[in-house]
């Protein structure tokens, strides 16, 4: 496919796409960027009207003047932080004007202010955000300054991690193609962020699939104080990206507005025509320090800083406007005064507005009940033929894909004929096609990052992480992106990704195929977590996860996939289980055992054994980690007066500690014995000594005997 793209480009005599053959060095020896055929001005202003040229100039000025004003506000104690885009404005405005706000997708980074002003974001909106006001339409005062966002413009609220936006933009582009549109996905970043592995994963996925993504790398040569020579081999990521086939590559002067616009226009045309992604490497200048907390004169010479001011994109565009007789010097001066006055007035108005109400601090962590998918829970009793857990999961996916054409399933090895390493996705790609169930690269961050972008743009990704032990390359996308989107955008953006994860031990998997991760991810506010113990619960909870408008981590214990005792009568296609509702698996009066996952059966075995000795044990299967049904737990503990919290993960810092703590806080006066925990050892799970590291039947039996004798 990549060879075909290259051949097509060559035959069309294009512009440096895929190969550099049509990109030539400028006659100006000081310019490192290349010149392309489409840079030749065959129509005036590359098709922009005089009014549009003036709009570009005003958008650049508004971005610059807001930077200037924020700097002054910091000195006055009215603002706290600034990351400036001064020097980046030309390429940003060019990209915005080549695309369509409200149609295309914009994954910006914290210097992309001029993208916003070009698309119509106003100074007062920026100042409300800078000052953390309740009227902040980007984040509701929840994020620190310089993180733009707009539902109307299809600009997902930006975040601080460098490089996490690239895979999301690719996921949105995947969505654009799947939905049959000609939408384009823009993603911006500084050259320092390309040191992150996720950047190359994103380039690879976009190039491999010919997705309509435009990567705009704004090279100001510094990642805070670290020069590009210490970041990238050869001092240029443009050179590094040459090895990727199937992506158009352009190296331009990002301080030249018309050159930038011509390039962005070409990239958008290629993307809309289905000709694949583009990589725009735009040389820019950083006219301010990295942020208000930085002082670049500590690591840059005065001469170098002054040299950059000679490339100021606003000054260059002003000269061009006069040269082209679009504006006079007097009109430029009047425009500067008009916009500066507007910026000052906007800052004053924003400062007078209220801060967020403290009562709203927990709002929009999850989808409000009034906006959640209406689901009729437990409408029937499971009454079908007995089914093992892995097949119940497979049937749940089948049924939900039937109901929702926007649901995609992907991950490593999920496609037929493998159908997943545990066969959980068997038959899906055969039935629904490889555009709905497909293999991903062996890259967990890629799986989650693209899923985030796809979910933001209207799809329902249900992705698979093959083993819990290998989820951690995706930690940034889960912890800092997926679970934060609704909260950090103050409810503007939802990100309903379901992550299926094979977890747990007892299969002789050693260190790297046996881990439990629920306690780690329970620390991620905004993430639902399910951990079923049997087939019927697995099907009901997974179907609910596929319907919810929130992120869900669905933990599937590998040891239970085909266990006979985990079999259940199969629920029908309309069976859904609510999250946050525990199951009392066995009633009792003398002792409560709280468990989940593979420990539920062990707890039940102990209860049956102790019944022979005249003891009555209540067993509770919590079923979901988040939300936790504390009401059912506390009701049982208040009845029995004694409780064991039983789980497979390590006892130290395991999720059982949270359960035990809540019991101690809320039911201390009802306890007739200290809360006891039975769990795995705080070690890495050994291959040969697994039975000495993970909880055994004898462990919970002994603990129950001790508690009953207390």
The predicted-structure confidence for 680-698, as pLDDT tens digits, reads as follows 999 999 999 999 999 999 9
3-state secondary structure of 409: strand
Provide the CB-side half-sphere exposure for 315 (13 A, CA).
9
Strands 624-626 and 437-439, bridge-based pairing: unpaired
**Are 74 and 153 within 8 A, CB to CB?**
no
**Are 599 and 646 within 8 A, CB to CB?**
yes
Question: Has residue 123 got a pLDDT over 60?
Answer: yes
Of residues 537, 458, 452, the one with CA closest to residue 498: 452
| C-alpha gyration radius of the chain | 29
Q: Which fold has domain 584-709?
A: Rossmann fold (3.40.50)
Of residues 36, 55, 65, 156, the one with CA closest to residue 98: 55
Provide the whole-model pTM: 0.94
Question: Has residue 22 got a pLDDT over 80?
Answer: no
Query: How confident is the model over 332-347, as a mean pLDDT?
Result: 98
What is the structure's pLDDT at 7? 37
What is the structure's pLDDT at 347? 97
**Spatial distance between the Cα atoms of 20 and 518, rounded to a whole number of angstroms:** 49
Q: Return the structure tokens found at 368.
A: 């409000």
What are the residue boundaries of the structural domains of the chain, listed by start? 50-351, 369-569, 584-709
What is the structure's pLDDT at 34? 85
**Spatial distance between the Cα atoms of 260 and 127, rounded to a whole number of angstroms:** 28
**Spatial distance between the Cα atoms of 419 and 145, rounded to a whole number of angstroms:** 45
- DSSP string spanning 99-140? S-BTTBEEE--TTTHHHHHHHT--HHHHHHHHTT-TT-TTTT
Range of lowest pLDDT (2-16, 152-166, 276-290) = 2-16
**Are 239 and 177 within 8 A, CB to CB?**
no
Query: How confident is the model over 345-354, as a mean pLDDT?
Result: 97
pLDDT mean across residues, the chain: 94
**478-500 residue pLDDT tens:** 999 999 999 999 999 999 999 99
Confirm whether 369-569 and 584-709 share one CATH topology: yes
147-178 as b/e, with b when 16 or more CB fall inside 10 Å? Answer: bbbbeebbbbbbbebbbbbbbbbbbbbbbbbb
What is the side-by-side order of every strand in the sheet holding 185-190? 105-107, 185-190, 213-219, 278-283, 248-253
- DSSP string spanning 266-282? HHHHHHHTT---EEEEE
Name every residue whose Cβ is closer than 8 Å to that of residue 352 and which is 6 or more positions away in sequence: none
What is the structure's pLDDT at 3? 37
**Spatial distance between the Cα atoms of 465 and 443, rounded to a whole number of angstroms:** 10
pLDDT category of residue 4 using cuts at 50, 70 and 90: very low
Distance of alpha carbon 196 from its chain centroid, rounded?
Answer: 15
- What percent of the chain is modeled with pLDDT above 70? 95
Burial class (CB in 10 A: 0-12, 13-18, 19+), 243: exposed
Residue 639 or 20, more confident? 639
Q: Which CATH architecture has domain 369-569?
A: 3-Layer(aba) Sandwich (3.40)
**554-588 residue pLDDT tens:** 999 999 999 999 999 999 999 999 999 999 999 99
pLDDT category of residue 24 using cuts at 50, 70 and 90: low
- DSSP string spanning 655-697? HHHHHHHHHHHHHGGG-SS--EEEEE-SS---STTHHHHS--H
Cα dist from 118 to 41, 95, 135, 149, 578, whole Å: 22, 9, 21, 14, 45
What is the structure's pLDDT at 9? 37
Q: Return the structure tokens found at 177.
A: 């193609």
Give the H/E segment covering residue 408. Answer: strand 407-411
Q: Return the structure tokens found at 171.
A: 């996921």
CATH code for residues 50-351? 3.40.50.970
**622-667 residue pLDDT tens:** 999 999 999 999 999 999 999 999 999 999 999 999 999 999 999 9
**Spatial distance between the Cα atoms of 524 and 504, rounded to a whole number of angstroms:** 20
Question: Has residue 162 got a pLDDT over 70?
Answer: yes
**Spatial distance between the Cα atoms of 267 and 363, rounded to a whole number of angstroms:** 40
What is the structure's pLDDT at 19? 35
Active site residue 395: no
**Spatial distance between the Cα atoms of 517 and 376, rounded to a whole number of angstroms:** 30
The values of phi and psi at residue 527, to 5°, are: -115, 120
DSSP state of 354: P
Question: Has residue 612 got a pLDDT over 80?
Answer: yes
What is the structure's pLDDT at 29? 40
**Spatial distance between the Cα atoms of 173 and 498, rounded to a whole number of angstroms:** 19
Q: Return the structure tokens found at 53.
A: 């040229």
Name every residue whose Cβ is closer than 8 Å to that of residue 468 and which is 6 or more positions away in sequence: 501, 502, 503, 504, 515, 516, 517, 555
**359-404 residue pLDDT tens:** 999 999 999 999 999 999 999 999 999 999 999 999 999 999 999 9
Question: Active-site residue among 39, 129, 513, 557?
Answer: 513
Query: How confident is the model over 427-455, as a mean pLDDT?
Result: 98
**Spatial distance between the Cα atoms of 595 and 699, rounded to a whole number of angstroms:** 14
**Are 3 and 245 within 8 A, CB to CB?**
yes
pLDDT category of residue 14 using cuts at 50, 70 and 90: very low
What is the structure's pLDDT at 272? 98
What is the structure's pLDDT at 31? 58
pLDDT category of residue 30 using cuts at 50, 70 and 90: very low
Of residues 335, 236, 282, the one with CA closest to residue 98: 282
Strands 226-227 and 528-530, bridge-based pairing: unpaired
Strand partners, 533: none
pLDDT category of residue 33 using cuts at 50, 70 and 90: confident
Q: Return the structure tokens found at 502.
A: 């094979």
pLDDT category of residue 25 using cuts at 50, 70 and 90: low
């Amino acid at each position: 496919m990549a060879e075909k793209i290259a051949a097509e480009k060559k035959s069309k005599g294009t512009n440096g796409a895929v190969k550099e053959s049509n990109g030539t060095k400028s006659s100006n020896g000081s310019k490192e960027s290349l010149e392309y055929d489409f840079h030749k001005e065959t129509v005036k202003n590359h098709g922009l009207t005089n009014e549009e040229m003036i709009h570009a100039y005003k958008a650049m000025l508004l971005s610059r003047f807001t930077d200037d004003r924020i700097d002054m506000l910091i000195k006055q104690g009215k603002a706290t932080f600034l990351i400036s885009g001064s020097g980046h404005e030309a390429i940003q405005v060019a990209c915005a004007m080549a695309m369509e706000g409200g149609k295309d997708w914009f994954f910006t980074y914290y210097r992309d202010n001029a993208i916003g002003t070009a698309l119509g974001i106003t100074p007062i909106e920026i100042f409300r955000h800078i000052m953390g006001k309740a009227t902040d339409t980007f984040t509701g005062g929840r994020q620190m300054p310089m993180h733009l966002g707009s539902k109307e413009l299809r600009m997902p609220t930006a975040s601080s991690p460098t490089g996490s936006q690239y895979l999301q933009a690719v996921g949105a582009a995947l969505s654009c193609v799947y939905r049959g549109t000609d939408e384009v996905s823009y993603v911006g970043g500084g050259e320092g962020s390309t040191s992150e592995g996720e950047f190359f994963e994103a380039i690879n996925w976009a190039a491999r699939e010919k997705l309509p993504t435009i990567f705009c790398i704004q090279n100001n040569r510094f990642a805070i104080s670290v020069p590009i020579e210490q970041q990238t081999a050869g001092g240029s990521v443009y050179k590094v990206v040459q090895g990727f086939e199937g992506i158009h590559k352009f190296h331009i002067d990002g301080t030249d507005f018309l050159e930038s616009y011509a390039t962005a226009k070409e990239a958008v045309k290629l993307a809309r025509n289905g000709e694949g992604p583009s990589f725009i490497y735009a040389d820019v200048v950083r006219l301010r320090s990295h942020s208000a907390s930085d002082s670049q004169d500590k690591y840059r010479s005065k001469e170098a800083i002054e040299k950059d001011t000679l490339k100021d994109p606003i000054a260059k565009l002003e000269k061009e406007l006069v040269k082209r007789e679009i504006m006079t010097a007097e009109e430029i001066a009047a425009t500067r005064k008009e916009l500066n006055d507007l910026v000052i007035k906007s800052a004053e108005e924003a400062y007078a507005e209220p801060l967020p109400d403290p009562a709203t601090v927990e709002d929009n962590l999850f989808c409000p009940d009034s906006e959640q998918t209406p689901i009729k829970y437990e409408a029937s009793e499971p009454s079908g033929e007995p089914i093992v857990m892995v097949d119940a999961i497979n049937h749940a996916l089948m049924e939900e894909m039937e109901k929702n054409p926007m649901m995609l399933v992907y991950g490593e090895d999920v496609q037929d004929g493998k159908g997943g390493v545990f066969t959980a996705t068997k038959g899906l790609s055969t039935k629904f096609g490889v555009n709905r169930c497909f293999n991903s690269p062996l890259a967990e961050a890629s799986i989650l990052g693209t899923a985030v972008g796809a979910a933001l743009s209207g799809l329902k990704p249900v992705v698979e992480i093959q083993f819990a032990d290998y989820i951690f390359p995706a930690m940034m996308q889960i912890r800092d992106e997926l679970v934060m989107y609704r909260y950090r955008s103050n409810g503007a953006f939802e990100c309903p990704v379901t992550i299926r994860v094979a977890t747990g031990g007892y299969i002789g998997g050693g260190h790297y195929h046996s881990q439990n991760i629920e306690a780690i991810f329970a620390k991620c506010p905004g993430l639902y977590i399910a951990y079923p113990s049997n087939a019927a619960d697995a099907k009901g909870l997974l179907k609910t996860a596929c319907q919810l408008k929130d992120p869900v981590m669905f933990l599937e214990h590998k040891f239970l996939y085909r266990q006979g005792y985990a079999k259940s009568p199969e629920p029908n296609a309309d069976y859904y289980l609510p999250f946050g509702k525990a199951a009392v698996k066995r009633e009792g009066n003398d002792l409560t055992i709280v468990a989940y996952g593979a420990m539920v059966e062990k707890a039940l075995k102990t209860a049956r054994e102790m019944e022979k000795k005249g003891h009555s044990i209540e067993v509770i299967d919590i079923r979901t980690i988040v939300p936790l049904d504390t009401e059912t737990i506390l009701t049982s503990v208040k009845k029995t007066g004694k409780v064991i919290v039983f789980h497979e993960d390590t006892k130290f810092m395991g999720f059982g500690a949270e359960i035990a703590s809540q019991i101690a806080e809320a039911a201390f006066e009802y306890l007739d014995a200290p809360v006891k925990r039975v769990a795995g050892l705080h070690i890495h799970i050994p291959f040969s000594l697994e039975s000495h590291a993970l909880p055994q039947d004898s462990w919970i039996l002994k603990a129950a005997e001790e508690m009953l004798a207390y």
